[in-house]
Amino acid sequence: MKDTLVIGSRGSKLALTQAQIVKAELELLNPSREVRIEVIKTSGDVKTDPLSVIGGKGVFTKELEDALLDRRIDLAVHSLKDLPTIIPEGLAITAICKREDPRDAVVIRSDVFRVFPTLNDLPKESVVGTSSTRRLAQLKHFQAELIVKDIRGNVDTRLNKLDAGDYDAVVLAAAGLRRLGLGARISVLLRPQRMLPAPGQGALAVETRADDFTTTSLVAPLDHAASRLACEAERAFLRKLGGGCQLPIAAYAVVHEGHLSLEGLVADPEGQQIVRGRISGARDEAEQLGCLLADRLLERGADELLDS
């Protein structure tokens, strides 16, 4: 039996905070077992080009998965929205932890916020920072006059660029801000009707080797059933569309008692056109519902938008 569990994590403050959350849960469940974190540098951490240029699929996860397959670590903690919908053979998502707030948050620069306290109040040609084509498309769809500029770096770096005056506002995941104790920086929380989240946003995934039954048994209690079902529906929608985290695709599922409702959208890169739909059904049909909604949007022209 293993005496020590090794968690693989990216080295950013947010990634380490998320790894610490999983570490604390595992230590609580297994007080006699040592759990430590090993930092793994990913290609997404070292490249400075926009994510749409370097390619979104796996840039924050591949090296962690390689470390798992090489048995250098026992488990990897990911932001689920960064994890490709098809994972390498021999690995498994053993747990999806209870989901944090999945919404997007707008942080408006303090001097701007005093005059324009909401996203809708921002004057024409205000500069909004995001590295996400999903956010860009939805921002431009509702407020075409905004100037949306790419922004890279960890959460602190992005906030520093905002405070320095490079941007009037930035859009970030509410979950990340809250996990870092920066919830007070949130100016506006965007309802899903206004900004549909990325599939899996706000959820942490714990990935293990499929044949490592000891680690699997230790990690499995961290799985949160409702969060997993919602995320499975969202990821099935994304997978059926053939999309990665850098295509303008969004999805958000809610599980209530025996039912699951899923809303999804596909946009063109500039947000001029959006195909959006909703589906609901039994919660144990999560993946089927995700695929069915994707098929419906494809029939309504989503394939042409993705090709653009």
Domain extents for the chain?
Answer: 1-98+203-223, 104-190, 225-308
Domain 225-308 part of CATH 3.30.930.10:
no
Measured CA to CA, the distance from residue 131 to residue 148 in angstroms comes to: 9
Measured CA to CA, the distance from residue 271 to residue 155 in angstroms comes to: 25
- The CATH superfamily holding the domain 1-98+203-223 is Periplasmic binding protein-like II (3.40.190.10)
pLDDT of 275: 97
Length of the chain: 308
Torsion of CA 17, 117, 50, 181, to 10 degrees: -10
- Tens digit of each residue's pLDDT (9 = 90 or more) over 259-308: 999 999 999 989 999 999 999 999 999 999 999 999 999 999 999 998 87
Q: Do domains 1-98+203-223 and 225-308 have the same CATH topology?
A: no
49 against 221, higher pLDDT = 221
Q: Which CATH class is domain 104-190?
A: alpha beta
- Work out the percent of the chain whose per-residue pLDDT is above 90: 89
Measured CA to CA, the distance from residue 64 to residue 42 in angstroms comes to: 7
pTM > 0.85: yes
| Catalytic residue annotation | 82
**Edge-to-edge strand list for the sheet holding 204-209:** 34-39, 4-9, 75-79, 204-209, 91-96
CA angle, 283 as apex, 278 and 288 as ends, to 5°?
65
- Tens digit of each residue's pLDDT (9 = 90 or more) over 143-183: 999 999 999 999 999 999 999 999 999 999 999 999 999 99
Measured CA to CA, the distance from residue 275 to residue 31 in angstroms comes to: 50
